[in-house]
Amino acid sequence: MAASAPVVTHPDLVEVRRSKVHGLGIFATGRIKKGTRLIEYIGERVSHDEADRRYDEKDENDSHTFLFIVDSKTVIDAGVDGNDARFFNHSCDPNCESVVEKRRVFIEAIRNIEPGTELTYDYQIQRDDDDPQNIDEVFACRCGFVKCRGTMLWPTERKPKKNKAKKKNKAKKKTIVKKKKKAAKKRR
């Protein structure tokens, strides 16, 4: 059985700086071509139950989380042994996307990007039937895009995407969403 080729990423093309969107963000240090795999999202791999346990103890006013769902069994907690990938902000008009491949998560450019541009991807947080009325406020978007959804949550109805060979993450912070939704319900 032949070993698979190593995955090539380009973390040298990004740096962490203060963001106008929110807190810290990731910025291009040079020109980035569409399709460039920039960085792997790394951190401690834990179960969904462990991720829930960790964040149930967290202050409900602290909105910073570094959880990324890989599959039905695994969540990456970049708050433990994570790298700069945890600082990508959400945008309704992203220039990057998250790609899950062989249980690893990568951030790739979906268009050509100029130096100094903040790099973002759509967190694609799923809605639930039992979401409180103020859920869009809890997950307010600050991207500033003219056609911003106003929320990091997916719209209630969306057109299905064409099937691609690459798997995309559909719920970056699903575990923490549960906690925030519970907190929002309590405040009603």
Task: Provide the mean pLDDT of the chain.
Answer: 81
- Sequence-distant (≥ 6) Cβ neighbours of residue 126 within 8 angstroms: 153, 154, 170, 171, 174, 177
The reported pTM is: 0.75
pLDDT per position as a tens digit, 104-149? 999 999 999 999 999 999 988 878 787 778 878 878 888 999 999 9
Question: Would you state the structure tokens that stand for residue 74, as one six-digit string?
Answer: 């695994």
Residue 172 pLDDT more than 50?
Answer: no
Mean pLDDT across the stretch 151-177? 53
Among 35-49, 50-64, 116-130, the least confident range = 50-64
Confidence of residue 156 (pLDDT cuts 50, 70, 90): low
Chain length of the chain: 188
Beta strands in the chain (DSSP E): 14-18, 24-28, 37-41, 44-46, 67-69, 75-77, 89-90, 96-101, 104-109, 118-121, 167-168
Question: Would you state the structure tokens that stand for residue 73, as one six-digit string?
Answer: 């069994």
Residue 62 pLDDT more than 70?
Answer: no
Q: Which domains does the chain have, with CATH numbers?
A: 11-187 (2.170.270.10)
Residue 168 pLDDT more than 50?
Answer: no
Cα separation, 44 vs 165, whole angstroms: 26
User: Is-contact 25 59, C-beta < 8 A?
Assistant: no
pLDDT greater at residue 15 or residue 56: 15
Bridge partners of 55?
none
23: left (phi over 0), alpha (psi -120 to 50) or beta: left
Residue 2 pLDDT more than 90?
Answer: no
pLDDT of 186? 44
Supply φ then ψ for residue 185, to 5 degrees.
-65, -40
